[in-house]
Amino acid sequence: MITLSVNGQEHKYDGDPSLPLLWFLRDEAGLPGTKFGCGEALCGACTVHVNGEAVRSCAVQMSDAAGKTVVTIEGLDPHGNHPVQRAWRAVNVPQCGFCQAGQIMQAAALLKQTPNPTDEQIHTAMAGNICRCGCYQRIEAAVRTAATGV
């Protein structure tokens, strides 16, 4: 039996321990905000926080999530008002929106670790998250906005 905390609630899982955390979150926990993109941990659409660190949930097996704390986009702020989420709205980042949960989770982890990042630190941290619409300038602007609290 695998036990983990997801968005502050304890969950138990008694299935295949090699199941990717992504599919547990979507199919078992009913949290569809974490998106399937590539399944290879290359695009970042499935980014969540595990013990406070941004990880690609498609590459984390349930056995590796045992005993850990997971936060998804649904748990970042119950009302969608985390500073990064507010900045995303202020800068009007999304175009299609598919990658945005992963982008926001990556940005939130960056700002928790580095509250006042340089442009280079923002660019480096966000580089692993692909935006098919090419909204990179708005994404980086929103991260700067969230960092400054404007």
CA–CA distance, 116 with 101 (Å, rounded to integer): 21
| CATH number of the domain enclosing 136 | 1.10.150.120
Report the pLDDT averaged over residues 38-60.
97
**72 and 105 inside one domain:** no
Mark which of 19, 50, 76 sits at the end of a domain: 76
- Is the confidence at residue 61, as pLDDT, over 80? yes
123, 140, 33, 109 alpha-carbon torsion, rounded to 10°? 60
Nearest CA to 59 out of 38, 76, 79 is that of 38
pLDDT digits (tens, 9 = 90+) for 7-24: 999 999 999 999 999 999
pLDDT digits (tens, 9 = 90+) for 91-140: 999 888 899 999 999 999 999 999 999 999 999 999 999 999 999 999 99
**57 and 102 inside one domain:** no
**27 and 58 inside one domain:** yes
* 3-class DSSP assignment, residue 107: helix
CA–CA distance, 7 with 135 (Å, rounded to integer): 28
**7 and 37 inside one domain:** yes
Q: pLDDT tier at 150 (50, 70, 90 boundaries)?
A: low
Quick one: which H or E segment has residue 48?
Answer: strand 47-50
The domain in which residue 110 lies consists of 83-148
Q: How many domains does the chain have?
A: 2
CA–CA distance, 126 with 67 (Å, rounded to integer): 28
